[in-house]
């Protein structure tokens, strides 16, 4: 007996707790394990599979591009690279794009760009970065320093210096901490890992004003909440406050790895060849795929669908009768159901019922279904949640 879970345990570094089944293939909203069991996917590989699994247009583009040209590195021009950069700029506040391979890498790039911008334009010493309680910006050394969670940071100290934290959504505290020493403020317009908390418009407005006052850069992390997830292409569109830089990843890749740091010309002006780089980033295959995803999730019909499904799902969730639900919140198809019990047993029960669910911290059930979800899937999800919650009603 040498099962895949056993093999994983023997040979793969144990930095993840995995579900006990083995996924084999997927189609649209569903994943199938090696035993043929079907699961309704409400995780999307953590906000990645916006178009669902095995989308035919993505499959076709990958096949076509990989046969034509798969990798050249960033010493050469390719059309997919330039085309994706143009599409990202046209769809957002940005004038320029830097390509990376993941969310954390897009954040690392933004950290370097912010530090260089402050040094070149305002001199040395303006190096402090502000991040917020509940934030998640990634696991690499710089991104980890902006992710104030004791469990993530403690084993790896000392962290990148000159980072300070303020409470999320607290205007007064943010105004107090942002000052002449600040080079950048990093914030998620909707916190994901931190429990699905949208930033208030007043909070984002106060950050924008404080950054302008002290010539610091406002950096939005839309790695999880961007790409149509909240019902607008970018989450910042909900209140019209624009950043100086923005990190994008997850759904942009349609299932393949990518990250992108979007920036204004003002910031881009300080960066030169050699300041940053990546062997793989911005390759022709991923750029072709990302251009497809960006076009499809920018489509107003898709965004209208996200908003309609969001209203329906929110309404159905509010009808669930469980004594343990304490709050239901979110934006678009980024929804958190806060409970007064540990949600991990509910996620495990979901495996039995054939529904994949995610948590955000110990007590928030996080729903991030593919954006192609329909009313039928919402019925299946909420009926299953009803059954699961009734199992836990008395506990």
Ligand X SMILES: *Cc1c(COP(=O)(O)O)cnc(C)c1O
Point out which residues bind ligand X (CB under 6 A). Answer: 102-104, 107, 136-138, 188, 192-193, 221, 223-224, 249-250
> What is the distance between the alpha carbons of residues 381 and 317, in angstroms, rounded to a whole number?
10
Closest contact distance (angstroms) between CB of 256 and ligand X is 12
The H-or-E segment that residue 387 falls in is helix 375-391
Task: Name residue 99's beta-bridge partners.
Answer: 260
Closest contact distance (angstroms) between CB of 380 and ligand X is 26
Report residue 222 as tokens.
């839309």
Q: What is the residue whose two structure tokens read 């997919």? A: 80
Which residue, 283 or 384, has its beta carbon nearer to ligand X? 283
Closest contact distance (angstroms) between CB of 172 and ligand X is 24
Closest contact distance (angstroms) between CB of 110 and ligand X is 11
Which residue, 282 or 380, has its beta carbon nearer to ligand X? 282
Judge whether 58 and 293 are in contact, CB under 8 Å.
yes
Q: What is the DSSP string of 147-188?
A: ---HHHHGGGPSPPSSEEEE-TT-HHHHHHH--TTEEEEEE-
Which residue, 26 or 138, has its beta carbon nearer to ligand X? 138
Number of H helices, E strands in the chain: 14, 17
Closest contact distance (angstroms) between CB of 198 and ligand X is 13
When CB distances to ligand X are compared, the closest residue is 103
Q: What are phi and psi of 61, to 5 degrees?
A: -65, -40
Which residue, 103 or 369, has its beta carbon nearer to ligand X? 103
Which residue, 65 or 191, has its beta carbon nearer to ligand X? 191
Q: What is the residue whose two structure tokens read 């696991």? A: 139
Which residue, 102 or 310, has its beta carbon nearer to ligand X? 102
Which residue, 44 or 384, has its beta carbon nearer to ligand X? 44
Report residue 346 as tokens.
């509910």
Q: What are phi and psi of 359, to 5 degrees?
A: -110, 165
Judge whether 20 and 5 are in contact, CB under 8 Å.
yes
Closest contact distance (angstroms) between CB of 7 and ligand X is 24
Closest contact distance (angstroms) between CB of 370 and ligand X is 16
The H-or-E segment that residue 265 falls in is helix 265-268
């Amino acid at each position: 007996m040498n099962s895949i879970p056993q093999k994983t345990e023997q040979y793969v570094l144990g930095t993840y707790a995995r579900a006990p089944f083995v996924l084999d293939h997927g189609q649209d909203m569903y994943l199938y394990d090696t035993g043929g069991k079907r699961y309704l996917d409400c995780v999307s590989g953590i906000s990645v599979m916006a178009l669902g699994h095995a989308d035919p247009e993505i499959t076709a583009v990958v096949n076509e591009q990989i046969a034509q040209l798969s990798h050249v590195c960033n010493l050469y021009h390719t059309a997919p690279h330039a085309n994706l950069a143009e599409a990202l700029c046209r769809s957002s506040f940005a004038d320029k794009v830097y390509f990376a391979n993941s969310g954390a890498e897009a954040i690392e790039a933004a950290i370097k760009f912010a530090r260089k911008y402050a040094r070149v334009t305002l001199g040395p010493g303006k190096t402090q970065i502000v991040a917020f309680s509940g934030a998640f910006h990634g696991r690499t050394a710089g991104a980890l320093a902006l992710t104030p969670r004791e469990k993530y940071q403690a084993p790896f100290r000392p962290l990148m210096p000159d980072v300070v934290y303020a409470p999320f959504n607290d205007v007064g505290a943010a105004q107090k901490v942002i000052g002449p020493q600040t080079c950048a403020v990093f914030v998620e317009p909707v916190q994901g890992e931190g429990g699905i908390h949208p930033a208030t418009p007043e909070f984002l407005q106060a950050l924008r004003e404080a950054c302008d006052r002290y010539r610091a850069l406002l950096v939005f992390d839309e790695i999880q909440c961007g790409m149509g997830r909240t019902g607008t292409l970018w989450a910042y569109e909900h209140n019209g406050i624009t950043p100086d830089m923005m990190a994008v990843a997850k759904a942009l890749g349609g299932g393949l790895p990518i990250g992108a740091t979007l920036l204004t010309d003002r910031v881009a002006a300080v960066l030169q060849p050699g300041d940053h780089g990546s062997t793989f980033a911005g390759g022709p295959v991923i750029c072709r795929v990302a251009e497809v995803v960006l076009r499809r999730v920018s489509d107003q019909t898709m965004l209208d669908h996200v908003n309609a499904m969001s209203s329906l799902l929110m309404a159905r969730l509010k009808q669930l009768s469980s004594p343990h639900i304490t709050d239901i919140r979110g934006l678009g198809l980024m929804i958190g159901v806060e409970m007064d019990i540990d949600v991990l047993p509910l996620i495990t029960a979901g495996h039995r019922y054939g529904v994949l669910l995610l948590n955000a911290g110990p007590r928030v059930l996080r729903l991030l279904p593919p954006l192609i979800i329909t009313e039928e899937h919402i019925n299946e999800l909420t009926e299953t949640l009803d059954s699961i919650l009734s199992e836990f009603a008395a506990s």
